[in-house]
Amino acid sequence: MKTKLYIIAGIFVLGSMFLPGCSSRRIEKDMATSESEDPVIKQGRLVFKAKCQPCHPNGEAGVGPEINTIKVPKAFLKARVRSRAFLLWTGRMPQFDKHEISPKELKSLVTFIKVMQRNERSKEKTKKQS
């Protein structure tokens, strides 16, 4: 049974690795704000596309859980990227060491995620008002 689950999870991971272009356009469209001109956010977007997009497409649920609506401090996000610990029994996220995501890139990534979350909240408010 476990073997079947691992095979299915592997198929989803591989599929998302070969189809990231479909959803990466949406990230660029969603982030087409004045904030995206900030070089820190641009770098964060690039790190997100390279490391996070396969499992969290556009910050939404994919192989990994949705990260657009999680309300946690920046320090927790940084720790989560560096840790292999379970998160609320939802499974393991790969650990990204300093040689995979540098401290500067990690700071940019967390800033980008926070901007994505802020944009998502503003979209939800707009939908509720409509």
Structural domain boundaries of the chain?
2-129
Q: What is the DSSP letter of 37?
A: G
pLDDT value of residue 14: 45
User: Domain 2-129 - what CATH class?
Assistant: mainly alpha
Q: What is the DSSP letter of 88?
A: T
**Structure pTM?**
0.67
pLDDT value of residue 4: 54
Helices (H), ranges, 1-130: 2-18, 20-30, 39-47, 74-82, 103-129
Q: What angle do CA 45, 128, 112 make, to 5 degrees?
A: 10
Query: pLDDT truncated to tens, each residue of the chain (130 aa)?
Result: 556 545 555 555 445 444 444 444 454 445 444 455 799 999 999 999 999 999 899 888 888 888 888 888 888 888 888 887 655 555 677 888 889 999 999 999 999 999 999 988 888 878 777 6
CA distance 53 to 129: 30
